[in-house]
Structure 1
Amino acid sequence: MPDLHWTIPVGRWSSWPATAPAAPDIGFIEPIVRRRLSTLSKVALKVAHDCVAREPVRVVFASRHGELRRTTDILRSISAGEPVSPTAFSLSVLNAMTGVFGIARGDRSAASAVSAGAQTLGYALLEAYAQYAAQPGSPVLLVYADEPADRAYGTIEDEVQGGAIALLLDQEASTGHIVCSLSRADGSPHADEAAADDVSSFPTQSQALLHCLETGQPARWQHAGALWHWRWHDRAA
C-alpha cells in the first residue's frame, strides 16, 4: 500500500448525530417527496443543504450500507408474496439521496457514490479531493451518511456508528484545511509518527473525522493494516 497524503480546503461543514431522537427538518424538500424518504436520506439531505447555496455543485455521496434497510424491507415483502412499492424500489439504490438533492435544487452537476466497507469515508474523501483537484474552480460537496445494518445480517465487523457529515471543498470560501493521510499500520515511519504523537484513535472513521473538525485536534483510525490520519490546519501547508 503506497502512502498517500492530500489536503482538502473546507468551505463549510455540517454534521447530524446518530443519537438524535428524531429525523431533521428538511422543509426545502417538497412534502410529497419528503414523506417517502428514509431517515438516512433525510439526515444526508440536511447536512448537504447546510453546506451549499444555490450555485451548482458536484456531489460525492458515501455510505457503507446505503439504503440497505429499505432494500431489506423490499426483500421481506417479496418473500411474503406482498407487492413492492415502485417508489420504495426507486429509492432503495445507494445514491438515492443525490437524485433527490439534484432535483430539489435543479442542479444537473455530476454526482457519484462510494461504498468501501469500513473505510468508506476515507476513500470518499480521496475521491472528492481527486474530483476537486481535476477542476478546482468548481466546488465539490462530500456527503457521508450511514446507519447500522438490519439485525437480519448478524454481527457486522467494524459496524458503522450512524449519523451524517458533509464537507464542501471550496478554496475560495475555505475556512481551513483537513490534511488527510493513508499509510501502512505495520511499523512504517508514518504509523510510528502518529503513534508517537499520541493522536486520539477512534472506533470509526466518522468519529475520528468529526473529532478533528469539532476540536481542531488530530485523529486517527486503524483497520486491516491501514492507518488513516486527519489533521486540521487554518491554512494549507
Structure 2
Amino acid sequence: MPDLHWTIPVARWSSWPAVAAVAPDVGFIEPMVRRRLSTLSRVALKVAYDCAADKPSVRIVFASRHGELRRTTDILRTISAGEPVSPTSFSLSVLNAMSGVFGIARGDRAAASALSAGAETLGYALLEAHAQYATDSSTPVLLVYADEPADPAYGTIEEEVQGGALAILLDATSAGRLSCSRTAVAPGSAGTAAGTAGVTAAVTATGSASAGDAGTLFATQSQAVHHCLDTHTAAQWRGEYAVWEWSWDEGVA
C-alpha cells in the first residue's frame, strides 16, 4: 500500500475512558432497549450523542477491533451448554449494533458503516470517514470508535486494545483539522516491529514514550489520537507494516 496523508475537519469530539467512576448516560435510548445494551454499546452511544445530538442527520462510521465479541462469546457458551439463545442478544452481537441502535433512536436513515482492521482499526476508520466526507460534504460524518479487551478465553492478544470510546464529528463548522498519515515500512526493519521492542515495553508501562520531532509514541492508536486531539501536539503509533502519525492544525477546512 502506498504512503497516505489526509486531513479531516473536526467540528467537535468526545471521549469516554476505559475505567470511569460513573456509568455513561444514554437516557436518549428508550428504557427497554437501554437495559439490553452492553457496556461497549453504552460508551459508544454516549460519545456519539455528545457529538451529534444537535445534528438532524449524520453518516456514521463505527469502528471496533473486537466489537461485541464478549456478547458473542457468551452466546457461544450458551449454545455449548445446550441452552436457548436470546434473539435480542443475537441481534445485538453484530459489529454494527451500536450504529443501528443510534439511527433508530434518532429516526435517522443516513448511511452507516462498520469496520474492523486489527490494531490499525482507528487509523483506517479515520481514512474511511475522510473519504466519505470528501465525496459529499453536505452531510456531517460521525466517526465512533469503541473497544474493550477480548475475553480472557482467547488468550494473549498482540497489541491489545485498552478500552474506551472516542467520537469525532466531521463537519464544515470545524474548530480545526486533524492531519493523518500512514507511512509503509518493511516488516522487521529498524524502527518498526523489531526496532521498537524496547520502546513498546516502555510504552506499556507508561502509556507513552518520546519519539523526538515525530511526536509522542503511544501503545495504541486510540491513545495517540486522543492525545493529539486533547493537547494539539503530534502523536505516533508504530505497527509491523506502517507508522501512523497525527497532528493538529488550527486552520479551518
User: TM-score, with normalisation over the residues of structure 2?
Assistant: 0.88
- State how far apart, in whole Å, the 2-side matches of 1:28 and 1:196 are: 44
- State how far apart, in whole Å, the 2-side matches of 1:50 and 1:212 are: 19
How do residues 192-203 of structure 1 correspond to structure 2 at under 5 angstroms? 197-203=213-219
- Would the aligned equivalents of 1:213 and 1:232 in 2 still touch at CA under 8 Å? yes
Does the residue aligned with 1:212 lie in a helix, a strand or coil?
Answer: helix
Q: What amino acid maps onto 1:180 in structure 2?
A: C
The aligned counterpart of 1:15 is 15
The aligned counterpart of 2:197 is none
- Compared with structure 1, are the counterparts of its residues 224 and 236 closer, same or farther at alpha carbon in structure 2 (3 Å cutoff)? farther
Q: What amino acid maps onto 1:39 in structure 2?
A: T
Deviation at 1:115, TM superposition (A): 0.2
Deviation at 1:196, TM superposition (A): 5.1
Q: What amino acid maps onto 1:18 in structure 2?
A: A
Q: What amino acid maps onto 2:225 in structure 1?
A: L
The aligned counterpart of 2:57 is 56
The aligned counterpart of 1:206 is 222
- Would the aligned equivalents of 2:174 and 2:252 in 1 still touch at CA under 8 Å? no
Q: Which moved more, 1:32-41 or 1:49-58?
A: 49-58
Deviation at 1:108, TM superposition (A): 0.3
Structure 1 gaps of 5+ residues are: 189-193
- Would the aligned equivalents of 1:185 and 1:222 in 2 still touch at CA under 8 Å? no
Deviation at 1:184, TM superposition (A): 2.1
Deviation at 1:144, TM superposition (A): 0.2
2:251 paired with 1:235 = yes
- Would the aligned equivalents of 1:212 and 1:231 in 2 still touch at CA under 8 Å? yes
The percentage of aligned residue pairs carrying the same residue is 71
The aligned counterpart of 1:132 is 133
Does the residue aligned with 1:197 lie in a helix, a strand or coil?
Answer: helix
The aligned counterpart of 2:44 is 44
- State how far apart, in whole Å, the 1-side matches of 2:55 and 2:238 are: 38
Q: Deviations over 1:44-92 (max 9, x none)?
A: 0000000011411100000000000000000000000111101000000
The aligned counterpart of 1:226 is 242
Does the residue aligned with 2:244 lie in a helix, a strand or coil?
Answer: strand
Structure 2 gaps of 5+ residues are: 191-209
Q: What amino acid maps onto 1:199 in structure 2?
A: G
Deviation at 1:176, TM superposition (A): 0.6
Does the residue aligned with 2:233 lie in a helix, a strand or coil?
Answer: coil
The aligned counterpart of 1:97 is 98
Question: CA RMSD of the aligned region, Å?
Answer: 1.6
The aligned counterpart of 2:108 is 107
How do residues 32-181 of structure 1 correspond to structure 2 at under 5 angstroms? 32-52=32-52, 53-171=54-172, 173-181=173-181
Does the residue aligned with 2:132 lie in a helix, a strand or coil?
Answer: helix
Q: What amino acid maps onto 2:7 in structure 1?
A: T
Does the residue aligned with 1:122 lie in a helix, a strand or coil?
Answer: helix
Does the residue aligned with 2:102 lie in a helix, a strand or coil?
Answer: helix
